[in-house]
Amino acid sequence: MTDPEPTHDIEAVFREKGIPFTRQRRLIWDFFAGADRAATITEAADGLRSEGVGQATVYRTVALLGDLGLLARVQDRSGEICYTAPPIGHSHPLICGVCRRVVRFDGDGDVKELEARLSAATGFSIYGHHLEVYGICPDCRREEGAQA
Amino acid sequence: MTDPEPTHDIEAVFREKGIPFTRQRRLIWDFFAGADRAATITEAADGLRSEGVGQATVYRTVALLGDLGLLARVQDRSGEICYTAPPIGHSHPLICGVCRRVVRFDGDGDVKELEARLSAATGFSIYGHHLEVYGICPDCRREEGAQA
DNA sequence: CAGCGGTTGAGAACGGTTCTCACACGTCGT
DNA sequence: ACGACGTGTGAGAACCGTTCTCAACCGCTG
Ligand SMILES: [Mn+2]
Ligand SMILES: [Mn+2]
Ligand SMILES: [Zn+2]
Ligand SMILES: [Zn+2]
């Protein structure tokens, strides 16, 4: 598991790549990076409308941040697609399927050996993997206790 | 009753649950189960239109098969959502990012230990995980030659 | 501070998914 | 085998999330 880490210096990333850094991009980044749980694009657009951010800009910026590796796409228990800002470096999300709270961990030690076996067995050249773990966080488990 | 076969006896599953088994459901099942690679709903609908299967029925049936655990949702390199009929039992897909050919493997031995650590460290009750490995199959690698 | 080129917002367009509803058909009791 | 019932189905409309268009705006550089 990773510890509480500093977020990316997004302005520096943009400057380094020569990509204009706008008020909207900062707001959208802050929306995702400032949350401790994944959010949908619709939620971001709704939350930023009052700040004068258009929905097309939210879509464009989420795609841009995704390309830059600054936003990861995950999904909750209902299959809804959400985005979360990962810390620096490679990690995987442990997601509460109910409230979408995200805890990051590094599981590559477990996967690397598996990938080597797969490559040897199948002849595939492996270029990546996708690992998410789903659970119910203590808070949500408490609230769901009464029901099934 | 006993099915030592590697593929699901879908008709028996339906009968056992008292769910009507129709011509369309057989066709849609065959479309996914008869392929060695994942396919999108759109592809299934296009491929079965000439058989007189409506697209609404394809959507409904894919959802139904998913609920029954007879179809697994995966995604290719571009993030496109596809479906593939897994063999009996729990497994994970190794997907060729180029042609979407799927090879299944059981990687739970590697994940189980990880999940135990995560559960202990976070207090989450873990109900599932999503693991896909991406690669290029030997055939596609040959066709593409060397690359970056 | 002026000029350029990328970015933005409003709304239209687009396309995948779901809904509606009359009709067809699978299932089961007889 | 037959008939009645209840579920499934197809065509097309509706719905809604996403992308596109384009004129105005603004961040960046000099
Ligand atoms: Mn990893
Ligand atoms: Mn597994
Ligand atoms: Zn939770
Ligand atoms: Zn391939």
Which sequence spans correspond to the domains of chain A? 6-147
User: How long is chain B?
Assistant: 148
The 8-class DSSP code of residue B108 comes to H
How many other C-beta atoms are found inside a 10 Å radius of the C-beta of residue A30?
14
Three-state DSSP class for residue A140: helix
What pLDDT does residue A6 have?
A: 55
What pLDDT does residue A128 have?
A: 86
d(CA A98, CA A76): 7
Smallest Cβ–Cβ distance between A113 and the set B110, B127, B132 belongs to: B110
Share of chain A above pLDDT 90, in %: 62
Using an 8 Å CB-CB cutoff, list chain A residues near B117. Answer: 1
Smallest Cβ–Cβ distance between A115 and the set B118, B125, B133 belongs to: B133
pLDDT tens digits, one per residue of B104-132: 899 898 899 999 999 999 999 998 898 88
What pLDDT does residue A42 have?
A: 95
Tokens of B15: 């009968």
B132 touches chain A (CB under 8 A): yes
Pick the more confident residue, A34 or A88. Answer: A34
Distance (angstroms) between ligand 4 centre and the Cα of B100 equals: 6
Query: N- to C-terminal Cα distance for chain A?
Result: 30
Nearest 5 degrees, angle CA B26-CA B45-CA B87? 50
pLDDT tens digits, one per residue of A34-71: 998 999 999 999 999 999 999 999 999 999 999 998 99
Q: How far is the CA of B83 from the C1' of D5 (A)?
A: 34
Q: In the predicted model, is pLDDT for residue A4 greater than 60?
A: no
The amino acid occupying position B126 is I
What pLDDT does residue B75 have?
A: 72
Nearest CA in chain B to A107: B114
Q: In the predicted model, is pLDDT for residue A144 greater than 80?
A: no
CA B145 to chain centre: 29
H or E element in which residue A98 lies:
none
Q: Is B131's CB within 8 Å of A134's CB? A: no
d(CA A68, CA B100): 25
* φ, ψ (nearest 5 deg) of residue B127: -115, -5
What pLDDT does residue A146 have?
A: 61
How many inter-chain contacts (A to B, CB under 8 Å) are there?
A: 111
Low-confidence stretches of chain B (pLDDT < 50) are: 1-5, 148
Chain C footprint bases within 7 A of protein beta carbons:
5-11, 16-20, 25-28
The 8-class DSSP code of residue B148 comes to -
CATH 3.40.50.2000 fits A6-147, yes or no: no
What pLDDT does residue B9 have?
A: 80
Q: How far is the CA of B48 from the C1' of C16 (A)?
A: 17
